Amino acid sequence: MRIARDLPTLRAELASLGPLALVPTMGALHEGHLSLLAAARQEAPAVAASIFVNPLQFGPNEDLSRYPRQEARDLEMLEAAGCDLAWLPSVEAMYPPGRATTIDVEGAAEGWEGAARPGHFRGVATVCTKLFQQTGAVAAMFGEKDWQQLQAIRQVVRDLDMPIRIIGCPTVREADGLAMSSRNRFLSPAERAQAAALPGAMQAAIAAMARGATPAAALAEARAGLAAAGFALDYLALVEPETLRACAAPPARLIAAARLGGVRLLDNMPA
Ligand code: PAF
First vs last C-alpha separation in the chain: 40
- Kindly state whether residues 154 and 230 are assigned to the same domain: no
**pLDDT digits over 19-31, tens only?**
999 999 999 999 9
Is any ligand 1 atom within 6 A of the Cβ of residue 124?
A: yes
Confidence at 70, pLDDT banded by 50, 70, 90: very high
Q: Is 243 exposed, middle or buried (0-12, 13-18, 19+ CB in 10 A)?
A: middle
24 CA to centre of ligand 1 in angstroms = 6
Q: Where are the beta strands (DSSP E) in the chain?
A: 2-4, 20-25, 46-51, 85-87, 139-143, 165-169, 232-239, 253-260, 263-270
207 CA to centre of ligand 1 in angstroms = 31
**34 in a domain, yes or no?**
yes
Confidence at 38, pLDDT banded by 50, 70, 90: very high
- Kindly state whether residues 26 and 68 are assigned to the same domain: yes
- Kindly state whether residues 159 and 205 are assigned to the same domain: no
- Pocket mutation for ligand 1, best pick of 22, 23, 25, 87 (most atoms within 8 Å of C-beta): 25
pTM above 0.85, yes or no: yes
Q: What is the mean pLDDT of residues 100-114?
A: 97
**Percent of the chain surpassing pLDDT 90:** 99
User: Does 33 qualify as catalytic in the annotation?
Assistant: yes
- Kindly state whether residues 236 and 193 are assigned to the same domain: yes
Catalytic residue among 10, 20, 22, 33: 33
According to the model, what pLDDT value does residue 201 have? Answer: 98
- Kindly state whether residues 12 and 138 are assigned to the same domain: yes
Residue nearest ligand 1's atom 8 by CA: 25
Q: Are 236 and 254 in contact (CB under 8 A)?
A: yes
Q: Has 114 been labeled as part of a binding site?
A: no
- Kindly state whether residues 148 and 231 are assigned to the same domain: no
**Helix/strand/coil for 15:** helix
Q: What is the mean pLDDT of residues 97-120?
A: 97
**50 in a domain, yes or no?**
yes
Indicate which CATH number applies to the domain containing 194: 3.30.1300.10
- Kindly state whether residues 187 and 158 are assigned to the same domain: no
According to the model, what pLDDT value does residue 233 have? Answer: 98
Is any ligand 1 atom within 6 A of the Cβ of residue 26?
A: yes
Picking from 148, 169, 190, the residue at the C-terminal end of a domain is 169
**pLDDT digits over 223-251, tens only?**
999 999 999 999 999 999 999 999 999 99
- Kindly state whether residues 76 and 205 are assigned to the same domain: no
Q: Where are the beta strands (DSSP E) in 99-224?
A: 139-143, 165-169
Is any ligand 1 atom within 6 A of the Cβ of residue 57?
A: yes
23 CA to centre of ligand 1 in angstroms = 9
Q: What is the mean pLDDT of the chain?
A: 97
- Kindly state whether residues 193 and 159 are assigned to the same domain: no
**124 in a domain, yes or no?**
yes
- Kindly state whether residues 12 and 112 are assigned to the same domain: yes
Is any ligand 1 atom within 6 A of the Cβ of residue 24?
A: yes
According to the model, what pLDDT value does residue 7 have? Answer: 97
Q: Are 85 and 17 in contact (CB under 8 A)?
A: yes
**pLDDT digits over 130-158, tens only?**
999 999 999 999 999 999 999 999 999 99
Total domains, the chain: 2
**pLDDT digits over 178-187, tens only?**
999 999 999 9
Picking from 169, 194, 221, the residue at the C-terminal end of a domain is 169
Q: Has 120 been labeled as part of a binding site?
A: no
- Kindly state whether residues 192 and 165 are assigned to the same domain: no
Domain residues for the domain of 67 are: 2-169
According to the model, what pLDDT value does residue 99 have? Answer: 96
**48 in a domain, yes or no?**
yes
Query: How would you list the strands of the sheet with 253-260, edge to edge?
Result: 232-239, 253-260, 263-270
**177 in a domain, yes or no?**
no
Picking from 169, 196, 230, the residue at the C-terminal end of a domain is 169
**220 in a domain, yes or no?**
yes
**225 in a domain, yes or no?**
yes
According to the model, what pLDDT value does residue 140 have? Answer: 99
Indicate which CATH number applies to the domain containing 102: 3.40.50.620
- Kindly state whether residues 109 and 214 are assigned to the same domain: no
